[in-house]
Amino acid sequence: MTIITADQLACEAKEFLRFKRAMGIPYWRAEFVLDEFVRFVRRHWGDHGKVMLDEVIARWCARGAGRKAVTVANEFGVVRQFCLYRRRRDPSSYVPEHALAPVKESIFLPYIFSHDEVRKILAIAGSHDGRFIWASMLRTLILVLYCTGLRLGEAARLCVADIDLGCGTLTIQRSKGRSRIVPIRADLVAELRGYAVERGRLVRERRQANPARFFLRLDASPLTVPSASNAIRRLLRQLGIKPPDGRIGARPYEFRHAFAVHRLTAWANDGVDIHAKLPSLSAYLGHQNIIGTEVYLKATPQLLELASSRFEQHLRNARPRQ
C-alpha cells in the first residue's frame, strides 16, 4: 500500500523531471501530464490529504468519459514512468500494471498525398503571393518536407549553419531529445542553392544582418512554425485537399507521411525487402524505434496489395512440385 499527498507528488515530480532532463530528455509533454496529475489529486484530496496511490491512478485514468484510449494510454505511460522512478527509492512503492490502460497504438491513419497532389501543391506554392510568406520560400519549405520527411518544426527551425550543400546534408538539432544528420539528394541541393540566392537578395534588400535561420519571411524575420503551418493549410484548402473549415482533412504533417509511404512503395516496386529497410528509414525519420515506422506499412491500400501479392508469390514458389 502506497500513501501519498498532492504536495509530496509535486515535489517528487520535479525531481523526476530533473532526472530525465539530466539524461538529455526534454520531457516537455510529460511535464504537462504530471502537472495535470498533481492538480487532479489537489482537486479531490487537497494539498495534504492522504490517499492510496493505486486509487488515485485508477480514478485519474477513468476521468472524462469519451476520451480517446490512445490518449489515456500515453498519459498513463508518463505516470507509470514516474511510479517506476519512485520505486528506485522505495522498493515497495506502487507501480500500476500496463493492463490499466493497455492501448498503445493509435488507429489513426494519415492522409497520404498522391504524386499528382504533391506536384499541384508545389505549383500553387510557387505562385503564392502573401503578405509575409513568399513563393520561393514556401515552395522550398514544402520540397524539404516532402523530400526528407522532416517534421514541420524541424524544417522551420533549420539554421544556415545546419545546411551543408557541399556535402548534401541537413543537421537536425536536438529534435525529440537528440540530433541527427539527414543526407539529401542532388536535385534538392540544387533547389536549396536557388533559394539561398533569393534569400540573400531578400536580406540585402531589407538591410538586415544575415539571420541565423534559413527560412525567412518577407520582412527577413525567421519563419515560425504556426505561420508555416497556416500557409500550407491555406494551400491545401485552395486545392480542395482539405475542407474549407475545421481541423479535419490533410495537415502539413502529411508531407512526412507521404515521404515515408512513397519511399516504402518505391522499395516494394523495386523488389527490395522493405522490412530489412525499416531500421534505415526509422533512423532517417528520427524515430526512437521502428515501431513508429511500421505504421506506414498499413498506410495505403497500394502498399498492402504489394505486400499481399509478394507473399502469395512466395507461397507459390515454396510449394513442392507434384
Q: How far is CA 117 from CA 142, 204, 233, 278, in A?
A: 12, 35, 14, 25
Is the pLDDT reported for residue 297 higher than 80? no
| Helix/strand number for the chain, H first, E second | 13, 5
The domain spans of the chain are: 3-100, 115-252, 256-318
Which of these ranges, 30-34, 63-67, 241-245, 246-250, has the smallest mean pLDDT? 63-67
Residues acting as catalytic residues? 151, 176
Q: For residues 8-20, b (16+ Cβ closer than 10 Å) or e, as one string?
A: bbbebbeebbeeb
What are the tens digits of pLDDT across the range 87-120? Answer: 998 999 999 998 887 655 555 677 889 999 999 9
Top pLDDT among 132 and 313 is at: 132
What are the tens digits of pLDDT across the range 12-63? Answer: 999 999 999 888 888 888 999 999 999 999 999 999 999 999 999 999 988 8
Q: Which residue is it, cell 505516470?
A: 79
DSSP-assigned states of every residue in 61-117: HT-STT--HHHHHHHHHHHHHHHHHHHHH-TTS----GGGS---S---------HHH
CATH code of the domain made up of 115-252? 1.10.443.10
What are the tens digits of pLDDT across the range 247-274? Answer: 788 999 999 999 999 998 888 888 888 7
Residues 270-283, mean pLDDT to the nearest whole number: 84
CA–CA gap between residue 20 and residue 22 (Å, rounded): 5
